[in-house]
Chain A
Amino acid sequence: MTDPTMAKHFQDVVLPHLHAAYNLARWLSRSDHDAEDIVQEAYLRAFRFFDGFHGGDARPWLLAIVRNAAYTWLRQNRAHELSTQFDEEFHSLPEHGAVEGPERADNNPETILARREGKRLLDEALEKLPLAFREVLVLRELEDLSYREIARVADIPIGTVMSRLARARKLLGECLKQQEPCDEL
C-alpha cells in the first residue's frame, strides 16, 4: 500500500472511532485537555502501526493504542497515580458498607441516581475508582466491549477482566451508597 492509499484507508477505518478513543482517554486522564493530547498522540501511533492492523473491528485495536498512550502520558505527568499499587483483595471494602439511617432502605443506585445530583455523583464515583477498575468498567459499560476485547485492550487475562469488573462494581456500589464522592481509594 502506498502512503496516500494507506492514509485514505486509515481515515476510513480508524477515524470513525474518534469518540470512543476520546471517551477512554478522558476517563483515564480525567482531564479534557489531556485527553485531547492523548488522543492525538494515539492517532499518530495508530497510523504508524496501521500496517499491523489486519482487518476486523478497528475499535478495540485503536482503544488498546489509546490506553497505551494514556499510560505513557500518566507515567510522564502523573506518576503517582500509576504508582498507587493495589491488589484486588486490598481494595475490598470493609463490610460496614452503607450509611446508617432512614435512607438506608432505598439506597440502591437507581434511587440515588434518580435524585438531582445523581449523575454527578456517579461520574465522580467512577472517576475516583482506581485506574485498573475504572478502565474495565468504562470499556465494558460505556464502550460495550466483550471480555475478550477488554482482555486485549487492557493486556490482562480474561479471568482478570471478570474479577476486576466484579470488584469495580462492588467498589462503585459502595461508593454510591455513601451518597458522596468516595475518597481516593
Chain B
Amino acid sequence: MNCKATRELLPAHLDQELSVAETIAIEQHLQGCPECQRELAEQGELKNAIRKHATYHAAPADLEARIRAALPQPTPPKRAQWWTSNLRWLNVGAVFATMFALAWSTILYLSVPSADELLADEVISGHVRSLMVNHIADVPSSDQHTVKPWFNGKLDFSPTVTDFTAEGFPLVGGRLDYLDRQPVAALVYRHRLHLINVYQWPAASEQTSAVRTLSRQGYHLVHWVSNGMVHWVVSDLDPRDLISLVRMLQAQGTQPGVSPSGSG
C-alpha cells in the first residue's frame, strides 16, 4: 500500500471501520512511513479532542415530560390490559416452549441407539468378519458331538449344539467369538449357499425375551433370550428360512414350556 492509498483509508482506520486485510496492509505501510504515522497521530488527536471536549447537549429536564404528554397515554386500566394480554401470550409461549422441549428430548431419546442396536452392529461385524477372513469355524465339523466338547475349557458355559442336516441346515462348525464384551460361542450353519452364524452366551439375568428381528445392511438378525442364554442369529438368508431355523433352535433339547414367542 502506498501513501496515497493509506491517506485515503486513514480516517476509516482511525474509526476501526476497515477489514482485517486492509488493516494489516495499512499497519504494514505505517511501520515504514513516518509521514503517514504523523498524519495518523494528528487525526487521532483531533478525533480524541472532539470526543473529549465537544459539548454533548443533554435534553432539558422537562422535555421528556412534554413529549410524554404529547404522546397517546397508556392509561391505567389499559395498562392492566397490556399486562394480561402479555401474560396470555407468555402462557402461550410457555406452552409452545414446553412442547418443543418435549419433542426435542423425544427426538434425542429416539436417536440414541439402544443397546440392542449397538449389539446388532457388533453381531453383523462378527458375521461379516467370519466370512471375510475365511475363518468361519475353529472346529469344522457337522458332528454336534465333536463341536460341543470343543468349547469345553474355552468358555465358562456349554452351548447347545444340534445338527439340522435333515432339516436342510447342516452344521458347519463352531468358533469362538467376542461380543457384548465377553467371549461367546458361534455356531455356523449352512442353508444352500448361505452361511448362518448363531451366537450364544449366558444372559445377565434370568429374564427371557421374545424373538425380535432386525434388518441391517442386507443382513437379517433374530435374537431372543431363553434358558438363561442370549441367542443372536445373523445371515443374509431369506428371513422366512431364517425363522424356520430359529424355530428349530428354540425347540432343540429344551425343557417343555419354552416356545417360540413370535417375531416382532
Indicate whether B132 reaches chain A with its CB closer than 8 angstroms: no
User: Majority SS of interface residues in chain A?
Assistant: helix
Q: Which residues on the A side are within 8 Å of B17 (C-beta)?
A: 146-147, 162
Known contacts A5-B85, A22-B63, A40-B66; is-contact A169 B47 (Cβ 8 Å)? yes
CB of B117 within 8 A of chain A?
no
Please name all residues of chain B whose beta carbon is closer than 8 Å to the beta carbon of A169 when the two chains form the complex: 11, 43, 46-47
Tell me the A140-172 residues at the B interface (CB within 8 Å): 140-142, 146-147, 162, 165-166, 169, 172
**Would A126 and B54 be within 8 Å (CB), given that A5-B82, A15-B64, A18-B67 are in contact?**
yes
A44 located at the interface, meaning its Cβ lies under 8 Å from any Cβ of chain B in the complex: yes
Tell me the complex Cα distance, A122–B50, Å: 7
Interface string of B8-26 (1 = CB under 8 A from A): 1011100101000000000
Of residues 44 through 61 on chain B, the ones whose CB sits less than 8 Å from some CB of chain A are 45-60
Chain B 51-95, CB within 8 Å of chain A: the 1/0 string? 111111111100110111011111100110110010000000000
Q: Is the CB of B42 closer than 8 A to any CB of chain A?
A: yes
Q: Which of B11, B71, B78 is A43 in contact with, Cβ under 8 Å? A: B71
User: Which residues of A are at the interface with B, using a C-beta cutoff of 8 A?
Assistant: 2-8, 10-11, 15, 18-19, 21-23, 26-27, 32, 35-36, 39-40, 43-44, 47, 108-110, 113, 118-119, 122-123, 126, 137, 140-142, 146-147, 162, 165-166, 169, 172-173, 176
Number of interface residues of B (CB under 8 A): 40
Known A-B contacts A110-B48, A147-B17, A172-B50; the reply to A39 vs B59 at CB < 8 A is yes
Q: What are 9 pairs between A and B in contact, CB < 8 Å?
A: A3-B72, A5-B85, A18-B59, A23-B59, A126-B50, A142-B56, A165-B11, A173-B42, A173-B43
A-B contacts besides A15-B64, A18-B67, 6 pairs, CB < 8 Å: A19-B58, A27-B57, A36-B60, A40-B67, A108-B45, A126-B54
